[in-house]
């Protein structure tokens, strides 16, 4: 079925469990808001077709997460891993 002209493109839903995000944030000593932003970015990237099923795909997805989160003022959620993709791809 076609969407009407000018209608937004609907990709799907991102569902976040409050209790899980709160628990994970506490376990990782991260602010709740930062972890929530990370989970939303992660979910939207999945809707755009990114995944982390292989090491290469995970590296790409995590790099994009880092760049997007940095633009939102959120610290690197993967501080112990290298970033292979240049931040300029999202500049």
Q: From CA 58, how far away is CA 17, in angstroms rounded?
A: 22
In the block, residue with structure tokens 């940095």: 70
Q: Residue 36: which CATH number? A: 3.40.390.30
Q: What is the pLDDT of residue 42?
A: 97
Q: What is the pLDDT of residue 88?
A: 43
Whether residue 63 lies inside any domain: the answer is: yes
* Cα distances (Å, whole numbers) of residue 4 to 1, 7, 11: 10, 6, 15
Whether residue 10 lies inside any domain: the answer is: no
Structural domain harbouring 81: 18-90
Whether residue 9 lies inside any domain: the answer is: no
| Token pair for 3 | 């969407």
> Is residue 83 predicted with pLDDT exceeding 80?
no
Whether residue 7 lies inside any domain: the answer is: no
Whether residue 5 lies inside any domain: the answer is: no
Task: Read off the pLDDT of residues 23-70 as tens digits, 9 standing for 90 and up.
Answer: 999 999 999 999 999 999 999 999 999 999 999 999 999 999 999 999
> Is residue 85 predicted with pLDDT exceeding 60?
no
> Is residue 84 predicted with pLDDT exceeding 80?
no
Q: Which position has the higher pLDDT, 79 or 82?
A: 79
Whether residue 53 lies inside any domain: the answer is: yes
Q: How many domains does the chain have?
A: 1
């Amino acid at each position: 079925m076609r969407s009407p002209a000018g209608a937004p493109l609907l990709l799907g839903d991102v569902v976040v469990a409050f209790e899980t995000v709160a628990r994970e944030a506490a376990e990782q000593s991260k602010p709740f808001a930062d972890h929530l932003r990370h989970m939303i970015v992660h979910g939207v990237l999945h809707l755009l077709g990114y995944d982390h099923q292989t090491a290469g795909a995970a590296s790409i997805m995590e790099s994009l997460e880092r760049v997007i989160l940095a633009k939102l003022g959120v610290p690197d959620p993967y501080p112990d891993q290298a970033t292979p993709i240049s931040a300029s791809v999202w500049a």
